[in-house]
Structure 1
Amino acid sequence: MRKNDRISACGRTINYEIIYSKKRKKAAILVRPDMKVEFRAPQGLSADTIRGMVEGKARWIFKKLEWFEENKLPDQKKQYCEGEIYLYLGREYPLRITLTNNVKRPLAFFKDSELMVEIPENTSEDQVSFPVKKAVWNFYSKCAEEEVEKLLKIYSKKLEVTTPVFKVKHQNKRWGSCSAKNILRINFQLIMAPPRQLEYVVVHELCHIKEKNHSARFWKLVRELMPDYEEHRNNLKKEGWKYVL
């Protein structure tokens, strides 16, 4: 459950989103690089208690917001225009757009170190970005499904579990998740990351089949499957802002 609230402190206003979770035992405040403040709360924690906790951390919150404002990263959202650079498994590919009467629907593929997109010849100039985006998203999603499936088959065997059902989809705030029914969801934009970063997320979520929380036992499982996971986890934290379509 989610709920929005605000407080006034130090002559300023803090807008924040309360995210309740049945699994969470301790409250936590998260200041995001996009300048959003989240309060992650256990079930039953009252709004008044939360306000008091946010007020108590107000100076810290403002310092974090100011730091993110000063170190704001460039907007990575794509314009889907000729020559734009796209990442795929950590490598850069310039976008090449071709209008042709050989296709009925937008089609994306790699050719000669370029990301090629073919769209119907009758597409008007001011509408080109829409079919290009659709083609790129469909192509990246399909590629991500293939990569994730390969990784799951390898690591499910190592973990001695049945290869789980998985879905590759767009997720705004997380790279992956594992449901109570052991259905894995992986953010398809991870196909832009170097292979080992994608591999880390797959291993991480797969280990949640055996350990649903982030206990010491959970991290022990992750390390057994991927001894150098911390390197790739840290790199994903540093570089993940780039993996945006």
Structure 2
Amino acid sequence: MYHFKTKKHSFNYTIHQVQNTTNVQISVCKDEGVLLTVPKSFTKSNLQFVLARKADWIAEQLGNVQPSEENHTQDEEKITEAENVVQSDEKKSFQSGERFFYLGRQYRLNIETTEDTPSFAFKYSKFTAQIPTSWDEAKTNEEIFTMLKEWYIAKGHDKTKDILKSLNPLLTNDVASITWEESPNLVSYNNGDVKADWHLLMAPMATIEAVIAKEVEQNPSSLFEDYNERLEWLKDHTLSL
């Protein structure tokens, strides 16, 4: 049995880990209480992530399943909600004019055709992808995704020093490095090394710091007065292209 607590909510929950899934299922019923069914690879940071996003929903369901004669039928019925922590980018179709988050702000993508070699740049607060006219739609989408992903990862390397400078004075356990990559876990921590999924770079810097601290520290909420507010962004936005 585990316990989740914020200024607004407090409840106990249990965890059931399963293989071959990327979904998180939250079930609320009178007999079992709050049950989270999660992937085997799910980390503490991923878990707290989902709980923070779904705390209002869970509290509402807990209020609906209190034992009483009037709502006995509803008490026995499981109320379930499932979601992905990071939405899949597979088969993404890119359009000129789309906007993508970076550090909490949205930037426009311009797609231009060229007879020369392909290129990708971020200038004047916008992404510009120059695509050879010989590429078909599938090739164009595949290559734009790759270029965007590589851009985010490169930016993650550039921002790592700033993140460590801000976080390490607050942490009990110092972070020596942050590796940005494609990962089933949003953030994982082992012996001073953090591995973070590159999608996290879409969130504001304050949110990134809170998510990393959540994985590294036993009591991350004590590090920031606005800890819950830092995580609020994730409740309202999807980490995907």
- Correspondence for 1:176: 187
Deviation for aligned residue 1:60: 5.2
Residue in structure 2 matched with residue 93 of structure 1 by the alignment: 107
The equivalent of 1:31 in structure 2 is 25
Equivalent residues of 1:93, 1:114 under 8 A apart: yes
**Cα distance change of structure 1 residues 60 and 110 upon mapping to structure 2, 3 Å threshold:** farther
Which deviates the most, 191-200 or 133-142? 191-200
Partner of 1:18: 18
How far apart, in 2, do the equivalents of 1:32 and 1:142 lie? Answer: 35
The equivalent residue for 1:82 is 96
Tell me how far apart the structure 1 counterparts of residues 192 and 77 of structure 2 sit (CA, whole Å): 37
Whole-angstrom distance in 2 between the partners of 1:96 and 1:32 = 39
8 Å contact from structure 2 (residues 175, 193) kept in 1: no
Q: Which amino acid aligns with 1:182?
A: G
Are the counterparts in 1 of residues 167 and 209 from structure 2 also a CA contact under 8 Å? no
Contact 2:171 2:213 in 1 (8 A): no
Partner of 2:239: 243
Query: What's the counterpart of residue 64 of structure 1?
Result: 80
TM-score relative to the length of structure 1: 0.58
Deviations 1:179-212 (A, max 9, x none): 2x332111211111122111211332343xxxxx
Q: Which amino acid letter does the alignment assign opposite residue 201 of structure 2?
A: I
Distance 2:141 2:38 in 1: 37
Amino acid at match of 2:232: N
> Is the 8 Å Cα contact of residues 167 and 186 (structure 1) preserved in structure 2?
yes
Structure with greater proportional helix content: 1
2:165 alignment counterpart: 153
**Contact 1:100–1:118 (8 Å) recurs in 2:** yes
Q: TM-score, normalised by structure 2?
A: 0.59
Q: Percent identity?
A: 22
* Count of residues paired in the alignment: 176
Shift of 1:243: 1.3
1:108–1:201 CA distance, 2 compared to 1 (3 A): farther
- Residue identity in the other structure for 1:244: S
Matched, 1:202 2:212: yes
Structure 1, residues 196-234: CA drift from partner, whole Å, max 9, x if none? 111211332343xxxxxxxxxx21xx2453221121123
Considering Cα pairs closer than 8 Å and 6+ residues apart, tell me whether 1 or 2 has the greater RCO. 2
Q: Match for 2:230 among 225, 229, 232?
A: 232
Indicate how the Cα distance of structure 1 residues 154 and 17 shifts in structure 2: closer, same or farther if over 3 A, else same: closer
Residues 82-139 of structure 1, C-alpha deviation per residue, up to 9 Å, x if partnerless?
Answer: 2222112222222111233453xx5433233322112345423452111111111110
SS in 2 for 1:80: coil
| Aligned residue identity for 1:225 | L
Q: Which residue of 2 aligns with 1:22?
A: none
Give the equivalent residue in structure 2 for 1:138: 150
Instruction: Provide the residue aligned with 1:46 in structure 2.
Output: none
1:92 alignment partner, SS class: strand
